[in-house]
């Protein structure tokens, strides 16, 4: 057994371990080598299994509409009825062949021949068309695609065939729900590679700058990557078992959240480990001391984020419900990696991890200096910040609050009532261009009709009422196989060379006394005008049949936006309540947690206000997804509280030894560098979401990145410390630490504060 110099720990007030002079401590082999090695090997095994699973997430991931639907909405109920009318799940692709001039008879015949070639591909059921436009400059086909899981492949085949077979010089598009879904899936393709590489590269670069070490950034990054591997393994298992619904949106956020959170927790632990190494030469003792000091704030931080994310289960949107447990599983894995793998690596490498700038053992007299103001022995930016806070606390926090309030006024410009589906994809898209061509030559809602479920006995009355409604171009009942029962000219398109249209069946398809009616709208299916038509239809048709349902693409978008706005009102109070309780348990106070929660809510408002201004005036976005404010709230509030937990848990620890005001300054100075670094890294990881050309992810990336930086630089560095310093010991009310005699007792034996250093609260220094 080897003897190594170590520490003789001495318990102090609140369980804080204070070290005395170095002593010779026997460190058992199992503690020094065996346990750290076992932990590292265990995580290597997890990474070895979880890493390859990353490429298999597509097996259990779906980006179809069902993964985003509001669970209890009318559109979802209508979709369930639609499924009863068809043997397989189908999603329509709309093919548009467009010419700059009117089609000649020969060109119309050539376009009509395309139907046979489309049917030969066998991507779904009966191909509808060709349908010529009124201006004779376009022809339309509707091709149902049988399996939503193969939409991307089927759309690719359709585009290849249409481009090869269309008349020369014609523009061809494959659009509609299937085309848009395929292009959306292509936009999400970068989640498996580009997003992760950008995020990891940004984190590694920042870690190199922060630590000025070669080995330590690798160890921290390995902790994050191994945590992500574990999270992927866990999420894959839950999705495979059918417990959760995984989509590209959740998958991208999972990667970013795990890397950012694991790195944040690692930074806090490393800071404590570096501090412990100045007290001892025993790397095992330092690793244990750092773990004892860091586990409580890390656990409280992780629990806060996990519970806040699980509050998304109260949402009625399937996409929100999916994200909650997926992201919570990721944070759980990040938490375990930071509290097991990283301490094991630190215990094995010790000071070598910091090479070439290894921490030096400080003389005993320099380890715990008797502080007067909390700033003795401190230099640089954070000493200057602490000095500003101590000299002008009220000015600092009032100015900070006013600045945040001004920024929050931008919320008045926020347009988070949903965006058109054609605006979701930010890169070139054949489907988006096709929607524009469709709206130019046909009823804009072609290919994405409103779907009406009505009682069989009232079918004709509902059909007549639908046709008479403003904004409806045409409406028709559906027969078996989804074949429309057409009447008039629409039943037989006048296309030379086209095969004769079969006679429309006389009887509509009936399921459990219900029939389906398709209504083609005069407006693009993803437009606000189309949503207004759906609202009117629902009101008008219910006067004929109170049980009628109006669904379809437009109705789904409408119900999704309505549900998202309702979730915002429902979930926000739950999240705030949960965070408040956790902070009260951690800080043993009521006043401090209330002020901390208020500060992060104000920070969230400011971040959203600035984001709204940037989205409207810099990026030129037409609006924002209705779920953006809720996701921004959950991430910013939960992660913003993280940094306040890191700060205030250290402030409380220091206040127990030195008094509240000196503890605030010391906590600010000691945690300033590590929390700022953590904020910059988390902002960089979320900013990486911007490489995925999806409007929702780009907007979320900006909101969280900017909000985290705002919270780190202004709220945690100035507002919270200055407000706490101005209030003094009462910040801990009603806990014992908030009583004046507690502060005096804690400072017994220390020289009194000078009035200039303690402008408010002389009772803490023993001055009467």
Q: For residue range 533-575, what is the model confidence (pLDDT) as tens digits?
A: 999 999 999 999 889 999 888 888 888 888 888 888 889 898 8
The pLDDT of residue 497 is 42
List 477's β-bridge partners, or say none. Answer: 517
What's residue 27's pLDDT?
Answer: 61
Inter-axis angle of helices 660-687 and 381-391, nearest 10: 130
DSSP, res 501: P
pLDDT at 553: 82
Is residue 185 within 8 A of residue 155, CB to CB? The reply is no
Q: What is the pLDDT of residues 23-66, one digit of tens each?
A: 445 666 666 778 889 999 999 999 999 888 877 776 777 655 55
Lookup result for tokens 């061509």: 437
Nearest CA-CA partner of 350 in 276, 264, 267, 263: 276
Task: Please give the radius of gyration of the chain, using alpha carbons only, rounded to the nearest integer.
Answer: 32
Tell me what pLDDT residue 395 has: 94
Q: Which long-range contacts (CB under 8 A, 24 or more apart) does 160-167 make?
A: 161/117, 161/118, 161/121, 162/95, 162/97, 162/114, 162/118, 165/113, 165/114, 165/117, 166/97, 166/110, 166/111, 166/114, 167/97, 167/99, 167/103, 167/107, 167/110, 167/111
* Integer angstrom CA distances of residue 394 from 50, 391, 400, 640, 710: 51, 9, 10, 22, 20
DSSP-assigned beta bridge partners for residue 208: none
Question: ∠ CA 221-226-229 to the nearest 5 degrees?
Answer: 130
- b (16+ CB within 10 A) / e for 629-651: bbbbbbbbbbbbbbbbbbbbbbb
675 Cβ neighbours under 8 A, 6+ residues apart: 643, 646, 647, 712, 716
CA atoms within 13 A on the CB side of 625: 23
User: What's the rounded Cα separation, in Å, for the pair 36 and 134?
Assistant: 75
* Distance between CA atoms of residues 48 and 233, nearest Å: 10
Q: What is the per-residue pLDDT for 498?
A: 43
Q: Where are the domains positioned within the chain?
A: 67-186+428-556, 596-737
Coil/strand/helix, residue 523:
coil
Q: Counting Cβ atoms within 10 Å, is residue 184 exposed (0-12), middle (13-18) or buried (19+)?
A: buried
| pLDDT (0 to 100) of residue 18 | 45
pLDDT (0 to 100) of residue 678: 86
Instruction: Give the number of C-alpha atoms closer than 13 A to the C-alpha of residue 59, restricted to the C-beta side.
Output: 13
pLDDT of residue 366: 54
Kindly give the parts of the chain with pLDDT less than 70. 1-31, 58, 62-69, 87-89, 147-149, 189-193, 362-379, 444-447, 481-482, 486-506, 738-768
Dihedral (Cα; 275, 281, 284, 289), 10-degree rounding: -30
d(CA 163, CA 171): 8
- What six digits make up the tokens of 763? 């009772």
Tell me how far apart the terminal alpha carbons of the chain are, to the nearest angstrom.
57
What 3-state class would DSSP assign to 175? strand
């Amino acid at each position: 057994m080897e003897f190594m110099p170590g520490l003789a720990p001495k318990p102090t007030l609140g369980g804080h371990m204070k070290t005395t002079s170095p002593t010779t401590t026997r460190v058992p082999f199992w503690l020094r080598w065996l346990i750290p090695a076992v932990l590292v090997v265990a995580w290597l095994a997890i990474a070895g299994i979880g890493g390859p699973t990353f490429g298999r997430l597509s097996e259990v991931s779906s980006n179809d509409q069902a993964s985003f639907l509001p669970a209890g909405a009318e559109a979802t109920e209508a979709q369930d009825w639609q499924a009863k009318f068809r043997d397989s799940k189908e999603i329509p692709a709309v093919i548009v062949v467009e010419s700059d001039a009117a089609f000649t008879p020969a060109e119309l015949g050539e376009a009509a021949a395309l139907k046979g070639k489309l049917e030969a591909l066998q991507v779904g059921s009966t191909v509808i068309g060709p349908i010529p436009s009124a201006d004779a400059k376009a022809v339309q086909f509707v091709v149902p695609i049988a399996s939503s899981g193969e939409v991307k492949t089927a759309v690719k085949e359709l585009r290849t065939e249409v481009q090869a077979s269309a008349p020369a010089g014609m523009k061809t598009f494959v659009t509609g729900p299937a085309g848009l879904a395929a292009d959306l899936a292509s936009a999400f393709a970068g989640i498996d590679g580009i997003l992760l590489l950008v995020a990891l590269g940004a984190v590694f670069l920042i870690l190199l700058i922060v630590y000025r070490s070669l080995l330590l950034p690798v160890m921290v990054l390995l902790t994050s990557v191994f945590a992500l591997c574990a999270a992927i393994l866990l999420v894959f298992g839950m999705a495979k078992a059918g417990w959760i619904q995984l989509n590209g949106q959740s998958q991208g956020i999972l990667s970013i959240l795990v890397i950012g959170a694991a790195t944040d927790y690692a930074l806090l632990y490393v800071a404590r480990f570096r501090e412990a190494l100045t007290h001892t030469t025993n790397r095992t003792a330092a690793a244990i001391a750092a773990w004892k000091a860091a586990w409580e704030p890390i656990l409280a931080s992780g629990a806060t984020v996990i519970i806040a994310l699980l509050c998304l289960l109260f949402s009625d949107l399937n996409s929100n419900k999916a994200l909650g447990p997926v992201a919570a599983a990721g944070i759980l894995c990040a938490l375990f990696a930071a509290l097991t793998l990283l301490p094991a690596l630190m215990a094995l490498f010790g000071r070598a991890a910091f090479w070439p700038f290894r921490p030096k053992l400080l003389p005993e007299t320099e380890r715990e200096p008797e502080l007067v103001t909390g700033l003795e022995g401190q230099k640089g930016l954070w000493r200057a910040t602490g000095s500003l806070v101590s000299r002008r606390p009220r000015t600092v926090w009032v100015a900070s609050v006013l600045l945040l309030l001004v920024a929050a006024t931008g919320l008045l410009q926020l347009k988070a009532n949903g965006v058109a589906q054609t605006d979701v994809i930010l890169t070139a898209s054949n489907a988006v261009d096709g929607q524009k061509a469709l709206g130019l030559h046909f009823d804009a809602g072609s290919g994405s009709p409103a779907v009406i479920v009505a009682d069989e006995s009232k079918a004709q009355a509902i059909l007549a009422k639908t046709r008479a409604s403003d904004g409806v171009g045409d409406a028709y009942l559906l027969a078996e196989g989804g074949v429309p029962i057409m009447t008039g000219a629409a039943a037989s398109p006048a296309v030379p060379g086209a095969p004769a249209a079969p006679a429309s069946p006389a009887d509509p398809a009936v399921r459990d006394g219900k029939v389906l009616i398709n209504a083609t709208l005069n407006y693009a299916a993803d437009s606000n005008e189309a949503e207004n038509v759906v609202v009117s239809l629902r009101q008008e048709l219910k006067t004929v049949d109170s049980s009628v349902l109006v669904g379809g693409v437009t109705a789904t978008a409408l119900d999704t936006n309505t549900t998202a706005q309702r979730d915002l009102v429902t979930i926000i109070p739950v999240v705030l309540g949960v965070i408040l309780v956790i902070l009260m348990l951690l800080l043993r106070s009521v006043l401090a947690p209330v002020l901390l929660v208020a500060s992060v809510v104000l920070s969230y408002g400011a971040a959203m206000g600035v984001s709204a201004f940037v989205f409207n005036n810099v990026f030129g976005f037409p609006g924002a997804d209705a779920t953006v404010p809720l996701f921004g709230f959950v991430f910013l509030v939960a992660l913003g509280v993280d940094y306040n937990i890191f700060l205030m848990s250290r402030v409380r620890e220091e206040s127990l030894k030195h008094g509240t005001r000196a503890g605030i300054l010391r906590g600010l100075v000691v945690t300033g560098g590590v929390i700022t670094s953590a904020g910059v890294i988390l902002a960089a990881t979320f900013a990486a979401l911007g490489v995925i050309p999806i409007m929702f992810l780009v907007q979320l990336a900006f909101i969280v990145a900017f909000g985290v930086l705002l919270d780190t630089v202004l709220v945690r560095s100035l507002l919270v410390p200055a407000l706490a310093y101005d209030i003094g010991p009462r910040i801990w009310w009603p806990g014992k630490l908030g009583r004046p005699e507690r502060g005096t007792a804690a400072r017994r034996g220390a020289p009194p504060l000078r009035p200039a250093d303690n402008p408010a609260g002389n009772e803490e220094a023993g001055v009467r």
